[in-house]
Amino acid sequence: MSATREDVGGTPLPPGWAQPAHQPDAFEISTTTFEQRATETMARPFARRAIANATDHAAALTTARFVGIDHDALRDKARQIRAHAIANLPDYLDQWIDAAEAHGTIVHYAADESEARRIVAQICRDEAVTRVVKSKSMASEEVSLNSALEAIGIDIYETDLGEFVVQAMGDRPGHVIAPILHRTKDEVHALFSTMAGRELPNEAEALTAFARDRLRHAFLTADAGISGGNFLIAETGEVLLVTNEGNGRLTTALPKIHIALVGIEKIVPRRRDLAVLLPLLTGHGTGQQITTYVTMVAGPRREQEPDGPERMHVVLLDAGRSALLGGEFEEALHCIRCGACQNVCPVYRQVGGHAYGWVYGGPIGAVLTPLFRGQVEGGELAHATTLCGACDDVCPVKIPLHDLLLGLRRRRDEEGCVPRSEQLAFALWGQVWSRPLLYRASTAVARGSLRVIARDGVLSAKAPLLRRWTAGRDLVVGRRRS
Amino acid sequence: MTDRASFLAAIRSTPRGSDPGLLDRSVAPDAPTQLRDGEHRADRLQAEAESVSTVVHRVVATEVGATVVGVLVAAGAQRIALTEDLAPFADAVREAATTAGLSVVGYAEAASKRAQAGALDATVTGCLAAVAATGSIVTAASGAGRAGALIAPNHVCVVRDDQIVDGLHELFDGDVLAEAGSIFALQSGPSRSADIEKVLILGVHGPGNAHVVIVAPD
């Protein structure tokens, strides 16, 4: 008989505890517009403040981490490693597969999201899996793995503390490495108290201890552990996992089956390349020198080893990646998912990760979403940027995000995705502002208009006509001569 | 179902991007994790480990048993497991622990039942190596197992001075990993999370209390 949820942790969880209050459409990007989603976050003052504080904090830690080091040279090396690995992707994948199979890893091939879901579901059926512990995986978010497994009756426990909260709230991660950046301690307290059936102390330590207990039982009873992979090492056939909580290592240590779902672009040629990439991934992600737990997995448990799974499955995920090879946007595949570009992006810092509508937020999200999901669903995101270039300056592998965003804007225009009214407006603007007299007249009219609708020199949120602009900010109207 | 051949063929059919070439050893990058000139490995290991909240003890070989058990008793640990890689110090630790009234098992035995491993108060492991520049211990599936160093709330790792390598380059390029088995793992300080409003909490899934005992050369 399969274990039931009630076996896990003392108090039974309320039925449907992991079911979202509002079910995001499982396999599709949000159907709302960027503006609608951004407005939702902007309407939550805590979320805005928390996102700004957390991203400031992370960006400062990253800067501090590389003081006294030739950071730029290190980034150049990292870029070189990533560019080389991606330029030779099929060869390195071939090498990785040979090495992985040699130590007993079972390798599967998912051309797209639905195939990834089918493969993992089939492994779970074949292995009679009823309960899964999962360590954080953005690839699994991409393919909406959890809902596919829940649909066949599997209990899933996200074991990263933040992801556990995200799952229980029916939310989506708000940041690549800090999933509940946008949530308050009070919200977590209310959630966990409901789950516990009693009032827990409203302190981070007690709340973490509660999650640890729940998840420890899940670790000790799960049939399978599902993880992502931070890197695939071609020469050794290893999968690398980094976590600070230790859940990644436990995921591959305790259940009898380990399944890793990994995007093909995660390949790096050699272990020694990690001496460059790991400090950058960690330094740009959290500002640490090294992540607390770095685990290199080479297949299932071997004879004479005291613990570990009987079988290890790795699902290689393409899902739009190979289509980028050799093209204008290939460099998007260099990304190592550190989240640094989110931390410095003036747009992300205001609107948070959810506004991007799919799995990835910030500049890399604005690039990957239209590339993986198409122009219709994600194309507007290339415009949800200021093109300030802060992301280029911080990227540890020097992805020219600014150029990629411009390229996506251009492609969107070429594909005729821009509304006719917008095309007309810009054509008119071009005509007027290329003629000095008309230009001066237009600015005079604009200044005059602002003066009419402003109060005491401030264009406040209450001003008519420009509400969409002023809803989140006040504008001080300039004096005639400065 | 997509098979290996068709999966790779789809990738091979795309044009190749520009290739800057693979870095060779002669242009190996200076990672931010190298030892400074004249710096003593054990000193750097101690400093880096302490900077991530590991408690470090410097001892001579004859003090290992008493030091480890002192830590366990102070932590209130009752059920403890010793992993295979503790070998040269295992007898000393077992003896001191038994004298102190602790219940001692081998990790392999504890791990034969997950619930039993999950109920441990502490584990004591050796290591495959330690990395001075990052304050990390390196354990292997063949020695400490996959979970031996993080299953319990308290962990003590015994490191011999000659096991310490300078930095990540030396670790990844050296021979030490050849005997690791199905996993090798770096571990730097206690388990941590700052997911809830950026408040740092130690001891989420792994140990909140992490000790490294550095044994001086004879």
Q: Within 10 Å of residue B9's Cβ, how many Cβ atoms?
A: 12
Residues B183-195 pLDDT 10s: 999 999 999 999 9
Q: What is the pLDDT of residue A466?
A: 56
Task: Give yes or no for a contact between A324 and A332, defined as CB atoms under 8 angstroms apart.
Answer: yes
In this complex, is the C-beta atom of B107 within 8 Å of any C-beta atom belonging to chain A?
yes
Where in chain B are the domains?
39-215
Residues A429-461 pLDDT 10s: 778 888 888 888 888 887 777 676 666 666 665
CATH number for B39-215: choose from 3.30.750.24, 3.90.550.10, 3.30.1330.20, 3.40.50.10420.
Answer: 3.40.50.10420
Flag if B201 and A84 touch (Cβ within 8 Å): no
Q: What is the pLDDT of residue A447?
A: 76
Which CATH superfamily includes the segment(s) A5-317?
A: NagB/RpiA/CoA transferase-like (3.40.50.10420)
Q: Give the list of residues 6+ apart from residue A150 with CB closer than 8 angstroms, or none.
A: A18, A156
Query: What is the nearest CA distance from B210 to chain A, expressed in angstroms?
Result: 11
Distances A184 to A162, A191, A207, A239 between C-alpha atoms, Å: 12, 11, 12, 34
Residues B66-115 pLDDT 10s: 999 999 999 999 999 999 999 999 999 999 999 999 999 999 999 999 99
- Between CA A242 and CA A295 the distance in angstroms is 6
In this complex, is the C-beta atom of B182 within 8 Å of any C-beta atom belonging to chain A?
yes
Flag if B7 and A205 touch (Cβ within 8 Å): no
Which of A113, A235, A305, A404 best probes binding to B when mutated, by most B CB atoms within 10 angstroms?
A305
pLDDT band at A425 (very low <50, low <70, confident <90, very high): confident
Beta strands in A350-471 (DSSP E): 458-459
Residues of B in contact with A93 (CB under 8 A): 8, 11
More confident: B34 or A113: A113
Q: Which of A31-45, A110-124, B26-40 has the highest mean pLDDT?
A: A110-124
pLDDT band at B26 (very low <50, low <70, confident <90, very high): very low
Q: Give the list of residues 6+ apart from residue A134 with CB closer than 8 angstroms, or none.
A: A140, A146, A156, A157, A158, A159, A163, A225, A226, A227, A251
Residues of A in contact with B185 (CB under 8 A): 249, 293-296
- Between CA A161 and CA A145 the distance in angstroms is 18
In B, minimum Cα distance to A86 occurs at: B17
- Between CA A119 and CA A13 the distance in angstroms is 29
pLDDT of residue A206 exceeding 70, the answer is: yes
At residue A66's C-alpha, the angle toward residues A279 and A346, to 5°, is 95
Report the pLDDT averaged over residues A185-210: 95
Query: What is the nearest CA distance from B41 to chain A, expressed in angstroms?
Result: 17
Report the pLDDT averaged over residues A362-382: 89
Q: What is the pLDDT of residue A431?
A: 80
Task: Give yes or no for a contact between A113 and A142, defined as CB atoms under 8 angstroms apart.
Answer: yes
Task: Give yes or no for a contact between A117 and A156, defined as CB atoms under 8 angstroms apart.
Answer: no
Pairs of CB atoms within 8 A across A/B: 277
Report the pLDDT averaged over residues B26-37: 59
More confident: A473 or A345: A345
pLDDT of residue B45 exceeding 60, the answer is: yes
- Between CA A155 and CA B76 the distance in angstroms is 35
